[in-house]
Amino acid sequence: MSRAQSRSREADYYIALSGNPNVGKSTLFNALTGLRQHTGNWTGKTVGLASGNFDSKGKQIEVTDLPGAYSLTAFSGEEAVTRDYLQSSNYDCVVIVLDSGILERNLSFALQVLAIAPKAVVCLNLYDESQRRGIFIDEKALSNELGVPVVKTCATKKRGLKELKNAVCGVCSGKIKCNTAKNLYSLNPESYEQISSSISKRCREICSACQHIEGENNFDRRNRRLDRLLTSKAFGIPVMLCLFGLLFWITAIGANYPSEFLSFAFGEIKQVLYRTFDYLNISPFLTGLLIDGVYTTLSWVVAVMLPPMAIFFPLFSLIEDSGYLPRIAFNLDKFFSKCGAHGKQSLTMAMGIGCNACGVTGCRILENKRDRLTAILTNNIMPCNGRFPILIAMIMMFFAGSSFGFSGSAITAVLLVLIICACVLFTLFVSKLLSVTLLKGETPGFALELPPYRRPQVLKTIISSIRDRTLFVLGRAVIVAAPAGAVIWLSANINIGDFSILKYCTDFLDPIGRFMGLDGVILMAFILGFPANETVIPIIIMSYMASGTLVEYTSYEQLLILFTSNGWTITTAVCMIIFTVLHFPCSTTCLTIKKETGSHKWTFLSVVIPTVLGIILCILTSSVMRLFGA
């Protein structure tokens, strides 16, 4: 009796989805389960496993979406989780998902899974795409070769799902017999590297027996033409910069209106709360703490953070689903390899633009611990979504005026791209520094699969991105923003003598801040903004106005007047941009780093490295600009 049969069962059958990355496994999982999903961690690991349910022939089936893997030799954490799960026998059947267009490449992993999975179903996904490319597969012949049922599916269009469910139920119930022993393998998975040539030979034999290719078609020619443009030395990086510039421009333009609406709506709710607290005769202290502190901070985080995330993450996901992100890694690999880092770090770096916590989690794709730590320690150098409002405010106030002859949004997008380019250079510099100091060692070769370009499923991608990324990140920010709001309000409203705690702190930090081209108020705002970077500018406004509560600003013109009246210059704005990019990670990212590394040491270094770099760069910049009278 399997472990799945012996445990207390909530479902009738338990199955697992396995396969290489980029075979449509997650799309198939979503098509099977719909919204009946949840995510948890594999025991003792930080890798998330998505689970869901579906019904078939009156049976309740729970399916677990295993991380994509190329091999069961477990180079990465994800591959280790997949191997351990498959070896646990904690399931009734494994569905091995293959990309019909690259059958021979995918079969290597399938044969490894069949060596340890007595019951399995092979899913030939993306078969409609492969047929357009002139690739035809005889599923009956393939079933005879592998000894398990084979079903063709197109998960994006939900074709073949009924047949797949029937095959799974048949295998789980024992009505369909599997004969995996006919393949190679009563072999230990740890020895697969020694028999790789045998597996490759067997893959070719299987393909010759069941696959027919009718020449080359427009699909392959289109992919090659796009790759000649998007991965070329002349156009690869310029196209990437233009694409991200467009992405930032759309985000900057589109986020303004919903942010204004949310700010207005939260302001109206705030007035209702004031009247309600007054009617209930709540004490002024609690009113200030809960409304001016907690609620105002939460509303700021949501109003400022939600709109750009709701635009940026879906657009980024569409780019990701199109197959373009691996091309970015390909273009940047030579730069990272020269700095002693891994090409895949460019992908985690791109994730950090949306959210550094997500970027740190994405570092799991790096197999080598040294490379993974390098990526984690440098991920915070990329400005996350919470820091973009600060950067945009600085650019709009000091650099994107009408005298430039461009629209404010266009010049903002261009300058944001330049800032991102500078951040990439800083990332490369710190990666090189780490490779010759704390993290010495050789970087392994970078084998990168370039998947075919695909037309993204726009609606599904937008919905899943908002649900899995936008709301997830926003939820974590809200959790830390609530207590932060209370601390901010208390520090501004508890007086010692004639001044508040906040005033004492800003005065203490002022000499250090001015040496950096900033001031004490700015430094204190970054410290209090540790839980959520979105609160930095509101804290600065509150401190300058001595209002005791976070204050909203209605326009950049009004904000510019307030800042310049408190001594801000171009030098202050430039140093503010530098320190916004190069300072300690937010609390959510720090917790994620601790969880991923399991070490206080690396978490501490992830805080120290960008902060020290930012302080040094601010001091040098302010000194040079003062020298030239700026």
pLDDT tens readout for residues 542-564: 788 776 666 666 677 888 888 99
- Closest-CA residue to 375 (of 345, 340, 337): 345
544: which strand partners? none
Rg of the chain over Cα atoms, rounded to whole angstroms, equals: 27
CA quadruple 148, 154, 159, 164: dihedral, nearest 10: 20
Instruction: Give residue 540's pLDDT.
Output: 86
Give the pLDDT mean for 479-497. Answer: 83
Of the listed ranges 1-10, 456-465, 536-545, the one predicted with least confidence = 1-10
Q: How far apart are the first and last CA of the chain?
A: 78
Instruction: Give residue 412's pLDDT.
Output: 77
Q: Considering only residues 304 and 327, tell me which one the structure prediction assigns the higher pLDDT.
A: 327
Give the pLDDT mean for 595-623. Answer: 94
**Model confidence band, residue 89 (pLDDT cutoffs 50, 70, 90):** confident
Instruction: Give residue 365's pLDDT.
Output: 74
Q: Considering only residues 379 and 355, tell me which one the structure prediction assigns the higher pLDDT.
A: 379
**Model confidence band, residue 6 (pLDDT cutoffs 50, 70, 90):** very low
d(CA 420, CA 435): 22
Q: Considering only residues 448 and 341, tell me which one the structure prediction assigns the higher pLDDT.
A: 341
Task: Return phi, psi of residue 120, to 5°.
Answer: -155, 160
Of the listed ranges 191-195, 251-255, 293-297, the one predicted with least confidence = 191-195
In angstroms, what CA-CA distances link 42 with 65, 394, 431?
11, 43, 30
In angstroms, what CA-CA distances link 106 with 10, 80, 113, 267?
33, 18, 11, 55
Give the pLDDT mean for 503-517. Answer: 94
Instruction: Give residue 405's pLDDT.
Output: 41
Contacts for 275 with CB less than 8 Å, ≥ 6 apart: none
d(CA 387, CA 589): 13
Q: Which two tokens stand for residue 572?
A: 């202050």
Given a cut of 80, whether residue 152 has pLDDT beyond it is yes
pTM score of the predicted model? 0.69
d(CA 458, CA 474): 22
Q: Give the 3-state secondary structure of residue 13.
A: strand
**Model confidence band, residue 43 (pLDDT cutoffs 50, 70, 90):** very low
Neighbouring C-beta atoms of residue 408, cutoff 10 Å: 18
CB 431 within 8 A of CB 618: no
Instruction: Give residue 402's pLDDT.
Output: 45
d(CA 112, CA 65): 18
Given a cut of 60, whether residue 189 has pLDDT beyond it is no
Q: Which two tokens stand for residue 295?
A: 């609620």
d(CA 457, CA 322): 9
User: What percentage of residues in the chain have a pLDDT greater than 70?
Assistant: 87
Instruction: Give residue 446's pLDDT.
Output: 54
- Closest-CA residue to 388 (of 306, 475, 293, 467): 306
Give the pLDDT mean for 226-254. Answer: 84
Q: Considering only residues 579 and 7, tell me which one the structure prediction assigns the higher pLDDT.
A: 579
- Closest-CA residue to 15 (of 116, 152, 99, 119): 119
CB 182 within 8 A of CB 129: no
Of the listed ranges 33-37, 109-113, 270-274, the one predicted with least confidence = 33-37
The residue to which tokens 């709506």 are assigned: 265
Alpha carbon 109 to its chain's center: 26
Residues present in the chain in total: 630
Q: Where are the beta strands (DSSP E) in 439-498?
A: 495-496
Instruction: Give residue 246's pLDDT.
Output: 84
Residue type, 357: A
Residue type, 413: A
Given a cut of 70, whether residue 161 has pLDDT beyond it is yes
Give the pLDDT mean for 255-277. Answer: 88
Given a cut of 80, whether residue 37 has pLDDT beyond it is no
Contacts for 59 with CB less than 8 Å, ≥ 6 apart: 12, 13, 169, 172
The residue to which tokens 């629209």 are assigned: 407
pLDDT in tens, 472-483: 767 766 776 788
What is the DSSP track for 260-276?
HHHHHHHHHHHHHHHHH
- Per the prediction, the chain carries an average pLDDT of 83
136: which strand partners? 212
Give the pLDDT mean for 309-334. Answer: 81
d(CA 597, CA 620): 33
Given a cut of 80, whether residue 258 has pLDDT beyond it is yes
**Model confidence band, residue 164 (pLDDT cutoffs 50, 70, 90):** very high
Instruction: Give residue 533's pLDDT.
Output: 82
Neighbouring C-beta atoms of residue 177, cutoff 10 Å: 11
CB 305 within 8 A of CB 258: no
d(CA 68, CA 150): 20
Q: Which two tokens stand for residue 536?
A: 């930095």
Q: Which residues of 290-300 are buried (b: 16+ CB within 10 A; e: fewer)?
A: bbbbbbbbbbb
Given a cut of 90, whether residue 156 has pLDDT beyond it is no
Ramachandran category for residue 384: left, alpha or beta (phi over 0 → left; psi -120 to 50 → alpha):
beta
Residue type, 595: K
